[in-house]
Amino acid sequence: MDNEKLVYGEATNTKVETDYNADEIQVLEGLEAVRKRPGMYIGSTGPRGLHHLVYEIVDNSIDEALAGYCTKITVSILPGNIIKVEDNGRGIPVGINAKTGLPAVTVVFTVLHAGGKFGGGSYKVSGGLHGVGASVVNALSEWLEVKVCDGEYEYTQRFERGHECYKLKKGEKTSERGTTVLFKADSEIFQETDVYEYDILKTRLREQSFLNAGIHIELRDERDSENVIVNNFHYEGGIRSYVEHLNKRSNPIHPDVIYLAASNAEDTAAVEIAMQYTDSYRELMLSFANNINTVDGGTHVEGFKRSLTRVMNDYARKFNKLKENDENLSGEDIREGLCVVISVKVKEAEFEGQTKTKLGNTEVRGMVDKLVSDKLMTFLEENPGVAKTIFEKALASQRAREAARKARESVRRKSALESAKLPGKLADCQSKDTSITEIYIVEGDSAGGSAKGGRDRRYQAILPLWGKMLNVEKARADKVYGNDKLMPVITALGCGIGDQFDITKLRYNKVIIMADADVDGQHIRTLLLTFFFRYMRPLIEEGHIYIAQPPLYRITHKKEHKYAYSDMERDQILAEIEGKSDIQRYKGLGEMDSEQLWETTMNPETRIMLRVELHDAVEADETFSILMGDSVEPRREFIEQNAKYVQNLDI
Q: Per residue, what are the HEC states of 433-449? A: CCCCCEEEEEECHHHHH
Contact of 229 with 252, CB cutoff 8 Å: no
Nearest CB to ligand TSJ, comparing residues 107 and 312: 107
Give the nearest distance from C-beta 178 to ligand TSJ in angstroms: 7
> Of 114, 66, 126, whose CA–CA distance to 90 is shortest?
66
> Of 160, 181, 187, 224, whose CA–CA distance to 50 is shortest?
187
The 173-192 contact track toward ligand TSJ, x by CB under 6 A, reads: ------x-x-----------
DSSP H stretches of helix in 173-274: 198-211, 239-246
The 134-153 contact track toward ligand TSJ, x by CB under 6 A, reads: x-------------------
Q: Which of residues 370-399 bind ligand TSJ (CB under 6 A)?
A: none
Nearest CB to ligand TSJ, comparing residues 5 and 414: 5
Nearest CB to ligand TSJ, comparing residues 174 and 415: 174
The 49-88 contact track toward ligand TSJ, x by CB under 6 A, reads: --------x--xx--x--------------------x-x-
34 binds ligand TSJ (CB under 6 A): no
Give the nearest distance from C-beta 201 to ligand TSJ in angstroms: 14
Of the listed 279, 326, 402, 520, which one is catalytic?
520
Contact of 540 with 532, CB cutoff 8 Å: yes
3-state secondary structure of 640: helix
Give the nearest distance from C-beta 72 to ligand TSJ in angstroms: 11
Nearest CB to ligand TSJ, comparing residues 144 and 451: 144
Nearest CB to ligand TSJ, comparing residues 73 and 441: 73
Nearest-angstrom CA–CA distance, 601 and 468? 24
Of the listed 150, 438, 443, 599, which one is catalytic?
443
Give the nearest distance from C-beta 180 to ligand TSJ in angstroms: 7
Whether residue 443 lies in the annotated active site:
yes
Cα 154–Cα 160–Cα 162 angle in degrees, nearest 5? 95
The helix (run of H) or strand (run of E) holding residue 415 is helix 384-417
Give the nearest distance from C-beta 80 to ligand TSJ in angstroms: 19
Site size with ligand TSJ, rule: CB under 6 A:
17
Give the nearest distance from C-beta 167 to ligand TSJ in angstroms: 17
Single residue of 9, 38, 49, 93 touching ligand TSJ by CB under 6 A: 93
Q: Which of residues 190-229 bind ligand TSJ (CB under 6 A)?
A: none
For 580, phi then psi, to 5°, come to: -80, 140
Give the nearest distance from C-beta 316 to ligand TSJ in angstroms: 49
Within 10 angstroms of residue 86's Cβ, the number of other Cβ atoms is 18
Of the listed 369, 516, 599, 622, which one is catalytic?
516
Which residues of 473-629 form beta strands (DSSP E)?
510-514, 545-548, 553-557, 560-564, 582-585, 609-611
Instruction: Give the list of residues 6+ apart from residue 466 with CB closer than 8 angstroms, or none.
Output: 443, 444, 445, 448
Nearest-angstrom CA–CA distance, 412 and 617? 31
Whether residue 445 lies in the annotated active site:
no
Listed ranges 89-97, 169-177, 226-234, 434-442: which one lies at the site for ligand TSJ (CB under 6 A): 89-97
DSSP H stretches of helix in 37-88: 38-42, 47-66
Single residue of 30, 49, 89, 449 touching ligand TSJ by CB under 6 A: 89
For 193, phi then psi, to 5°, come to: -160, 150
Helix, strand, coil shares, percent, the chain, to 5: 40, 20, 40
Nearest-angstrom CA–CA distance, 400 and 213? 38
The helix (run of H) or strand (run of E) holding residue 229 is strand 229-233
Nearest CB to ligand TSJ, comparing residues 291 and 313: 291
Nearest CB to ligand TSJ, comparing residues 179 and 526: 179
3-state secondary structure of 313: helix
Nearest CB to ligand TSJ, comparing residues 109 and 533: 109
The 98-137 contact track toward ligand TSJ, x by CB under 6 A, reads: ----------x------x---x--------------x---
Give the nearest distance from C-beta 156 to ligand TSJ in angstroms: 13
Nearest CB to ligand TSJ, comparing residues 61 and 397: 61
Dihedral of CA atoms 319, 325, 331, 333 in degrees, nearest 10, equals -90
Q: How far is CA 445 from CA 304, 450, 484, in A?
A: 49, 9, 16
Give the nearest distance from C-beta 70 to ligand TSJ in angstroms: 6
> Of 252, 205, 228, whose CA–CA distance to 61 is shortest?
205
Contact of 495 with 502, CB cutoff 8 Å: yes
Of the listed 409, 518, 542, 637, which one is catalytic?
518
Can you say whether residue 73 is alpha, beta or left, with left for phi > 0 and alpha for psi between -120 and 50 degrees? beta
Single residue of 34, 82, 92, 515 touching ligand TSJ by CB under 6 A: 92
Q: How far is CA 399 from CA 388, 406, 488, in A?
A: 17, 11, 25
User: Which residue is at the shortest CB distance from ligand TSJ?
Assistant: 119
Nearest-angstrom CA–CA distance, 187 and 194? 6
Nearest CB to ligand TSJ, comparing residues 124 and 310: 124
Give the nearest distance from C-beta 48 to ligand TSJ in angstroms: 19
Nearest CB to ligand TSJ, comparing residues 106 and 397: 106
Q: Kindly tell me the sign of the dihedral angle through the C-alpha atoms of 619, 622, 627, 633.
A: negative
Task: Give the catalytic positions in this structure.
Answer: 443, 516, 518, 520
Residues of this chain that interact with ligand TSJ (CB under 6 A) are 1, 57, 60-61, 64, 85, 87, 89-90, 92-93, 108, 115, 119, 134, 179, 181
